[in-house]
Structures are given as C-alpha cells and as structure tokens.
Amino acid sequence: MLSEQPGTGLWLVYQMMNLNMDKQPVRGPLRNWVIRAGITLLVAGSLYLTFGLLGWFPLELETIAWNNIRIVSGVAIAGCLMAAIGYGDE
C-alpha cells in the first residue's frame, strides 16, 4: 500500500493520523458524570422547548411558572455549560 511506504508524503500523513487516533482522553468519573448530565439537560430542555413551541407540551410565555419559556431555555443553557465545563480543554 502506498501510504505505508516510508519516505512518501502520504506515509507521514498516515503516521500522524495513527498518532491522533491512538490517544483517548482520560477523564475522571466526575467529569464523565458532568458531561452526561449536561448533555441530558441540554437535550431535555431543547426537546421541551421545541415541543412547547409546537403546542404539544404546555409552555407558558407570559406568566412565571415551572414551564415558562425562560426556565426551560435556562435548563438547556445550563446543560450546555455543564457539558462544556466537563469537556474542559479537550
């Protein structure tokens, strides 16, 4: 195979790709939990917001309630921030 022959440009690219693919990020269990919880909140908030705007779920636009559009959007934003903090510098 051409990419496995040393001295070619493709060989260098092939070796660099293998180096990047071998590195798996090692995260602690707390970081994994924060990432998963954040993504779960993001998905749940986004789905509730979408279904509320479509009229399938109750979504109050004017009054202050647990299903107010600001609170549901805030859950999605908090989930996004949690996932971003969990991923850190990756």
pLDDT at 33: 94
Contact 1, 53 (CB under 8 A): no
CB 75 within 8 A of CB 37: no
Name residues of the chain where pLDDT drops below 50.
Answer: 1-3
pTM score, whole prediction: 0.66
Residue 73, Cβ neighbours under 10 Å: how many? Answer: 14
Instruction: Give dist(CA 68, CA 48) in Å, integer.
Output: 11
How many other C-beta atoms lie within 10 A of the C-beta of residue 10?
12
pLDDT at residue number 88: 86
List the structure tokens of 8: 């070619």
Which amino acid, 43? Answer: V
What is the reported pLDDT for 37? 95
Q: What is the pLDDT of residue 90?
A: 75
| Amino acid at site 51 | F
